[in-house]
Structure 1
Amino acid sequence: SGGFSAIAYGYGNVESYAYLAGANIQDFTFQPELTGTTQGVTNGCVGLPISLKINLPYKPTKLVWNVGDGSGNTTEAPPIPKDSLIRNGVVFYTFVYPKPIVYTLPNDYTFRVVSTKPSADNCGATEELSVDFTVDPLPTAVIAANLTSCSAQEVTFSAASSVANVSGKTLTKWIWDFGDGNFSSLQNPKHTYSVANATTFKVTLSVGADNGCFSDVVTSNIAIGPQPVAVFNSTFNGITSVNSNINSCINTAITFQDKSTIGGGATITEWLWDFGDKTSSTSQSPVHSYTSAGIYMVSLIVKSDTGCESLLLTKTFNITDLPINDFTLPEVCAKDGIAIFKNLSTDYDKQITGLTSYLWDFGEPASGALNTSTAIDGNHKYNTPGTYKVVLTIKNTNGCVVVLEKVFTVNDSSPIANFEVLNTNFCSNKALVLKNTSRVDIGTISRLEWYMDGVKILTDDDPLPDKKYAFALPSLGGNTDKIYDFRLIVYSGVTCSNEISKKVTIKPSPQISFTALTPICENDGDVKIVQGQESSSQNGSGVYSGKAISADGTFDPKLAGPGIHTITYTFISLNGCDSVLTQDMMVFESPLADAGPLIYILSGGQIKIPAKASGKKITYKWTPSLGLDYDDVLNPIASPAEDTEYILTVTTDEGCEVKTKIMIKVLGEVHPPTSFSPNGDGINDVWHILLLDSYPDNMVEIFNRAGQKIFESKGYKIPFDGNFQNKPLPVGVYYYIIAPKSGRKTVTGSLTLIR
């Protein structure tokens, strides 16, 4: 607002006049305050009561107030001062508008007061005082929040949508009341409710702008649901556990019993189970079993119909393998006494200390109370032959139960022993095959014993019907047969048995030996094998068989080839019995070698012998060594002074060798041809000088009649072909100079070129 004006009015003929009192005394003369306080204000707020007072340096006889709210003038005559004060030595009197002022609309208003002085002065008997006053609209408060939440769950409240409603003004104050005795002055506070039962709270907010105006209080109701508490038990094999660590076994059904709770006004509607093995359930009380041993963390979260979620509850389940249930079945007959079932059961860790109980059911209800037992091993007397179902139930410390049922037979007391001899060849070196044909009317034969000439040779504790037994007989040579007595005793229980005896005549068999064979080489030629022998003077004959061998023992290693070859020696006696032995013959691969064809060289010349050889890990030896640079390489350099035959011996690391020969003839002179015809017919197309290449440092030069050199070669590896500078030379006579070197004299002469 601006400054205030003062207007003085005279009496009678005295003129009235007005003046601007000035802003410098505004705050002192007019002093609007919040009603009920001494807090001065510079502006008003819609609906907010204010009190107006003025300070005058005299006691007026009348005050006429007008606050601009449309209510008209209010007159006090005489007005009573509420207070007085001294300022700059002048006494001022304070007068207050009779009632609080409440503006219902935002606007610019003017306070006016006409004061009648107690006596006229030069300015007159009255003066009018006025000042402008602005009333601002109230801010608007807006609550933003999720109006449904849960106990112990933080709720975020926001006043971000609230506005000051005055240009240039901002909100600076927020007054929150969360309805549970807690407050906040933050713009966007967070608050956590704690309730046992479903409760609705009234949340209020008032916002204040920097012009001092506060909004009306706005209200929102927030519904807070109680937080459920997850609780569960587990039951398996009749055992219920409330502990946090539970032991159980694989393949055992575990019932998870929900015991969760929640306060009034809400209901648990969702169950989220995690069994720790990548499986889950949403049932209230699911049933689950584990297929693998291990430690599993089972967790439960429950949710209510108000959307509230419990804390995670986790329990540890130690799942082990099942106990191992096993027991033996005795072999008994009706005449035997107690049948003993040996308990072989262990806990999952192969120990018996973890087993807590045993229950036997012997499958004979007629025996009454004797039909069951809780002893570790089962003991029961059966009086009647037949088949029974024996059941053993075991339990371990984890409460895990395993049931095992086995079918058990009480055998008849009268077994019948019998057997058949299956052989058609009764030679002593062949197994004697006997077939068990024993039987019992009820049950099975539980054990049998074989005897030969009164000596036990075999016990079978698990005989099967028609089972065959092969017995090796003692060695018997010569030409005389032997009779053996075979006896069979069969059992259907401990004391129930029967026996039978039969005699068997056995023929002697050849007594042969076949000693080891010495390895030979592929190129050794035929070898006579005589190592097979018969030692008991039996009448008969021996023959050999196998690859590359004749019946009389002649072996051809070349035909057999390298490698291991099995040779069989068979001796057949006149009684039809035979004996067979084998030995392996090792044939080593022989090397291959070719020293090469006849070679000519000039006297004083040399040549590399073109020998070829192959084989495994071979070595070389040349004889004689005279005229060779080396005698232990495949291709030595030969420079004999006279005709020489060299022998190459090639040997493998297994000792197999081969020899080959080569003749080297030594020529004394170089004899070049006197003509050649390079016409492309493949005959004498080049000037070939026999044996010249045996002189490695030879020099050949050819000239035409004019003395021009048309060919030159060192070593003469490429013979003269009748061309010069890649052009054919004309027919005619040419001249040559051949220098063999190596101590040989130069050879000269003429050469005729014919086309």
Structure 2
Amino acid sequence: MRILTTAALSIMACTTLFAQPPNSSCSTAALLCAGTPLSGTNTGAGGVPGFCAATDAMVWYTFTTNSVGGPVSVVVNGIDCAVLSGADNELSAVILSGNGSCTLTGFVAVSACELGDELIEVTSQSLLPETRYWILIAGAVNNGALTPAQCSFSVDISGPGADIIGVDLSAGPDIEIGSGESTQLQGISVSPLSWSPTVGLSGSDIPQPIASPSSTTVYTITSTIAGCTYNDDVLVVVTRRVNPPNTFTPNSDGWNDLWEIPEIADYPGAEIIIHDRWGQVVLRTTGYREAWDGTHNGAALPVGTYYYHIQLNQLEGRSPPYTGFVTIVR
């Protein structure tokens, strides 16, 4: 959303008067969503001394806290004020709670009133969950009175009470599966939602559908919460499953002499450990650039069964190791 001034209305005594933006009243406050800054203007703002700002000829924003609540920070930056005779070059900002009446007595400040000519940062006290609050941006107090200011700026909110992603909406952790396998997404949403793309999903409007993609896919969960639209992504990595053979014959006859694992080439960081039945490690390698020939320190190992542990290390903590046995036959 971008809020712009309208054209000049009139010229009086060589002073240009501009119309206030649409959100110059409490009743038309612009909706502010966490992580989505809005551009705004404040033209010729005035007010009533003693309250930091009044309810008319100001710039109003509104937001609703998440389901947890907590402190909220407001940042007004990029302040650019016109140099006009009799006008100040500062703005003020304050966070308010209210009863919805849009009267001065219907609001209570829940933050300090901060001033600035380039950047304003305002942090509230801990706010109630799922509650509507207002942000009022006006001219700065100067010698006990609010002075007019004609400025452009950008405003954004963040903080434990405002952030939605990870609190009221989440696509869940990234997941790794093998080709042909399925997994359940771990989405969270407090409001109606949709997933996209829908290919490979058991449902597009439920938080935790079954995903069966044929290739690596990024799924996006989208939901509208308190009038704001948010989205979050989850990566489902589809890999070739490793299928180590359970026997090979390293007798130098040119056939099946090596313990070859074709799929391991997809995992250059894979760690492979092989040990004998007494637990002695006979092979330890990161990456499997050369297939094992059944030797240890250059000497041929005796026939028998050996045990492997393969950690692919593609998504740490999400891909369980492969374990099994391989038999050397001569």
- TM-score tier (shorter): 0.3 to 0.5
Normalising by structure 1, we get a TM-score of: 0.20
Tell which structure's C-alpha radius of gyration is larger.
Answer: 1
Structure showing greater relative contact order (alpha-carbon pairs closer than 8 Å, 6 or more residues apart) = 2
The TM-score normalised by the length of structure 2 is 0.38
